[in-house]
Structure 1
Amino acid sequence: MTRRSTQSQNVLGIVHTAIAVSDIHHQIDFWQQVLGFKLDGMAEIGGPLPEDETGVPGIRSKVAMLTKHGQTIELYQPTAPADRQTYRPRPVDIGSWHLALRVTDLDEIVRASRDWGWRVRGKVAVVEEGPGPIGARLVYLHNDDGTILELVQLPQS
């Protein structure tokens, strides 16, 4: 089988990262107060557009858009249909994903995140060999929604 090149499709960049949450107001507060994102707006959506895009009949969600340094996070709390589920993969499970955030004080964000229900998944690790930046400190945080954030503190230059 011959695979077609995607170079001609001209991907220009990432528009946003969307994360399904169980309590949108709690998560908005976390993303603003701990991570420093700005709330750009909220809405409740449903109807033909999200149904057509997702293929889920009856989908409704509360949606919030937050930004920081040109990056956009979409938090959405599905409210319908009733048969939705919570997905809590481990980092090794196929289909899992995480969002990596570059931070200046990893320990402070870990401490502040505890009050919001986020926990360290393993322990703080230090990059000792490539391909990552040698000396960088890394940690995975996770919450009850199944969301995984990686905090990356680069070494001082």
Structure 2
Amino acid sequence: MTEADKPQFLAADHVSFTVEELEPAIAFYCDVMGASELFRMGPLDAAEMPKDDAGRDWTDTHIGVAGACITLVMLKLTDNLNLQLITYDKPHDKSTVRPRHCDAGGHHLGLKVDDVEKAARYLSAHGCEVQEIIAIDAGPLAGKKNLYIRDPFGNPIEIVD
């Protein structure tokens, strides 16, 4: 491939969290985190969609989960980042075990705030599992603070100043 074949990656559009129930997650992110709802789609059931040329259903072809039924909501979380919340009604054998940070597939959303201590108190009061604040005293982030939380649905978030 040539340099002309390389696309230009412009910006982050969204991150996605899979949740067991949409409405409580939407309420948390809108009421507590200040997000606003942009749109909803679904339920989108693979059983009701045409198969591809190889006979695979839509969700297997496009997201690698055969036989899925999904509903998603896109939220505007910050001026430059959207948050997609998605729930899977099918398949029924889906796992509810979340990867640890050290596991392949481990992840977190990083959000910048004006005051890490205030964010810790606020998020704790709104059902988040809040870890201890990390005060960084050396290196390129000296003087900064951050902390890790889990939202009420178990999704990992890093709060930074």
Q: Distance in 1 between matches of 2:41 and 2:34?
A: 21
Which is higher, the Rg of structure 1 or of structure 2?
A: 2
The equivalent of 1:126 in structure 2 is 135
* Equivalent position SS for 1:87: coil
The answer on 1:56 being equivalent to 2:65 is yes
CA change 1:130–1:85 in 2 (3 A) is: same
- List gaps (5 residues or longer) in structure 2: 50-57
Q: Distance in 2 between matches of 1:128 and 1:94?
A: 29
The equivalent of 1:81 in structure 2 is 91
Q: Distance in 2 between matches of 1:136 and 1:104?
A: 11
Cα deviation, 1:80-133, whole Å, max 9, x if unaligned, reads 111111132222223200010001232333233234432023x1011222333x
* Equivalent position SS for 1:51: helix
Task: For residue 15 of structure 1, report the CA deviation from its aligned partner.
Answer: 2.0
Task: For residue 143 of structure 1, report the CA deviation from its aligned partner.
Answer: 4.1
The equivalent of 1:33 in structure 2 is 31
Contact 1:89 1:146 survives alignment (8 Å): no
The equivalent of 2:15 in structure 1 is 17
- How do 1:70-149 residues align onto structure 2 when only pairs under 5 Å count? 70-121=80-131, 123-132=132-141, 134-143=142-151, 145-149=153-157
One-letter amino acid of the counterpart of residue 18, structure 2: A
Q: Distance in 2 between matches of 1:115 and 1:43?
A: 31
One-letter amino acid of the counterpart of residue 17, structure 1: V
- List gaps (5 residues or longer) in structure 1: none
TM-score normalized by the length of structure 1? 0.81
CA change 1:24–1:142 in 2 (3 A) is: same
Q: Distance in 2 between matches of 1:72 and 1:46?
A: 24
The equivalent of 1:151 in structure 2 is 159
